[in-house]
């Protein structure tokens, strides 16, 4: 008998697909956090003897450890998912155990989505109850919709109702996620107010309501740059505890984040680890940090800041692309030339102004920098 793969914790963090129940399920491109880290979650649950809030898979302490990493009594190593102050994670987790929802706020690429997925995976074992916020998000995506064939044939009934992810989370006592909350039109945002304050979702068509089961809560993310698009009403904001995710404080921290994520992404894309990786990562992160700050790392030279966001997330994709280039077209070493195209693409958003900024940085800072000759040459070649 074939065992049901979804029921089993997978053996390692890079284990195969758990989707589908066929004999040879096709490997998925990206696993949900609860599948990718099933072994860690199972080990944490087995060794967690602290009190758990109703319907939580883990205690708040174990959830925080899952996010920030650590070693368990039996020697299991829990890899850090979020690299940054543990206190931030503790506040976020604690919020979810109260009657307030959690709002993760920050500039692009500060791991808001990533943290929200891992929190939901650790607390509810399910990170998929997700509403993607856009300017076109309808009320049905937050409340419920109808199956029109059923509705026309039999009239309004529970069977004809199509619950939103939020409604399902309420009924099951799980964590729901709302991405990019501030992009959602104000009237749709408002439908969250009753849900979060009364913990109930009325269904007037059926003369009934869905009452949230204990364990239900909601994590929303919002981007700093969207401020003013659809500002949260103060009534809604009061229902949230806001946790701001900062940019990585130091070069070392950001290098660690990029190294770790490039390693994971590389493995999932079957890219080998290449020599030269550590050096190029350090350079990409240095360039991004200096341009972001408008100042060189030694604090001596001011530089202009380009229009692009230059987030950690972009540094990760520049290096991952470089790795792919070097693997398929290179000589087995990750070289400066493999990342300079990507850097140029990230820095130069405005073809005129940003190109000027980049050229000044290249000539004024990179050219004279010790040990960066190859980088300077490669960057000149891609058309600075
Ligand atoms: N402090 C960090 N610790 C671990 N990973 C990080 C950190 N900062 C960024 N990352 C990585 O950056 C990538 C992008 O993060 P994510 O998409 O969650 O950002 P975001 O804040 O949601 O951005 P956006 O505002 O554009 O939606 C993820 O792969 C994540 O692992
Ligand atoms: Mg996001």
Q: Whose CA is nearest to atom 10 of ligand 1?
A: 111
Q: Whose CA is nearest to atom 7 of ligand 1?
A: 111
Please name which ligand lies nearest the alpha carbon of 116. Answer: 1
What's the 79 CA to ligand 2 centre distance in angstroms?
21
Q: How many CB atoms lie within 10 A of CB 278?
A: 12
Token pair in block for residue 339:
């990342």
Neighbouring C-alpha atoms within 13 Å toward the C-beta of 282: 8
Mutate to test the pocket of ligand 1, among 110, 117, 252 (most ligand atoms within 8 A of CB): 110
Q: Which atom in ligand 1 lies closest to the alpha carbon of residue 221?
A: 22
**CA–CA–CA angle 62, 312, 383 (5° rounding):** 160
> DSSP letter at 363?
I
**Tens of pLDDT, residues 317-372:** 999 999 999 999 998 899 999 999 999 999 998 889 999 999 999 999 999 999 99
* Separation between Cα atoms, residue 27 and residue 141, nearest integer Å: 29
**Tens of pLDDT, residues 267-293:** 888 888 888 889 999 999 999 999 999
From first CA to last CA, the distance across the chain in angstroms is: 61
Q: Which helix (H) or strand (E) holds 202?
A: strand 200-203
Please indicate whether residue 182, judged by its CB atom, sits closer than 6 Å to ligand 1: no
List own/partner pairs for 5-13 with CB under 8 A and 24 or more apart: 6/35, 8/38, 9/38, 9/39, 9/41, 9/42, 10/35, 10/36, 10/38, 10/39, 11/39, 12/39, 13/37, 13/39, 13/40, 13/79, 13/264
**Tens of pLDDT, residues 46-105:** 999 999 999 999 999 999 999 999 999 999 999 999 999 999 999 999 999 999 999 999
Q: Which atom in ligand 1 lies closest to the alpha carbon of residue 80?
A: 4
Q: CA-CA distances (angstroms) from residue 373 to 175, 284, 362?
A: 51, 15, 11
What's the 110 CA to ligand 1 centre distance in angstroms?
4
pLDDT at 269: 86
* Separation between Cα atoms, residue 166 and residue 69, nearest integer Å: 29
Protein residues with C-beta less than 5 angstroms from the ion ligand 2: 112-113
What's the 108 CA to ligand 2 centre distance in angstroms?
7
Longest dimension (CA), the chain: 76
How does the average pLDDT of the chain come out, rounded?
91
Neighbouring C-alpha atoms within 13 Å toward the C-beta of 331: 3
Region 31-51 average pLDDT: 97
What's the 247 CA to ligand 2 centre distance in angstroms?
14
What's the 367 CA to ligand 2 centre distance in angstroms?
35
pLDDT at 17 over 60: no
Please indicate whether residue 116, judged by its CB atom, sits closer than 6 Å to ligand 1: no
* Separation between Cα atoms, residue 174 and residue 196, nearest integer Å: 14
What's the 178 CA to ligand 2 centre distance in angstroms?
10
Single pTM value for the model: 0.90
């Amino acid at each position: 008998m074939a065992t049901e793969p979804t029921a089993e914790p997978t053996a390692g963090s890079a284990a195969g697909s758990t989707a589908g129940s066929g004999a040879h399920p096709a490997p998925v491109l990206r696993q949900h956090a609860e599948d990718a880290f099933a072994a860690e979650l199972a080990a944490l649950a087995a060794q967690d003897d602290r009190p758990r809030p109703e319907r939580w898979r883990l205690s708040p302490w174990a959830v925080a450890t899952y996010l920030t990493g650590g070693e368990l009594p039996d020697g299991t190593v829990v890899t850090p998912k979020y690299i940054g102050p543990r206190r931030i994670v503790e506040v976020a987790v604690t919020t979810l155990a109260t009657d307030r929802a959690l709002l993760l706020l920050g500039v692009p690429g500060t791991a808001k989505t990533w943290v929200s997925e891992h929190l939901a995976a650790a607390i509810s074992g399910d990170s998929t109850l997700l509403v993607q916020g856009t300017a076109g998000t309808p009320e049905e995506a937050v409340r419920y919709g109808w199956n029109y064939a059923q509705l026309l044939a039999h009239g309004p009934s529970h069977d004809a109702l199509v619950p939103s992810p939020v409604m399902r989370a309420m009924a099951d006592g799980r964590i729901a996620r709302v991405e990019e909350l501030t992009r959602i039109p104000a009237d749709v945002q408002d439908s969250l107010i009753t849900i979060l304050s009364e913990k109930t979702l009325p269904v007037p068509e059926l003369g009934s309501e869905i009452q949230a089961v204990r364990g239900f809560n909601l994590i929303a993310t919002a981007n700093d740059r969207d401020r003013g698009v659809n500002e949260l009403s103060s009534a809604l904001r009061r229902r949230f505890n806001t946790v701001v995710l900062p940019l990585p404080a130091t070069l070392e921290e950001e290098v660690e984040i990029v190294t770790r994520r490039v390693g994971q992404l590389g493995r999932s894309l079957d890219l080998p680890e290449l020599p030269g990786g550590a050096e190029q990562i350090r350079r990409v992160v240095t360039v991004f940090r200096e341009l972001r700050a408008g100042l060189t790392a030694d604090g001596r030279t001011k530089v202009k800041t380009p229009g692009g966001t230059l987030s950690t997330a972009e540094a990760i994709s520049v290096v991952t692309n470089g790795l792919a280039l070097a693997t398929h077209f290179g000589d087995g070493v990750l070289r400066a030339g493999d990342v300079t195209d990507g850097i140029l693409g990230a820095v130069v958003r405005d073809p005129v102004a940003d190109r000027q900024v980049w050229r000044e940085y290249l000539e004024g800072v990179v050219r004279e920098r010790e040990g960066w000759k190859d980088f300077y040459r490669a960057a000149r070649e891609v058309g600075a």
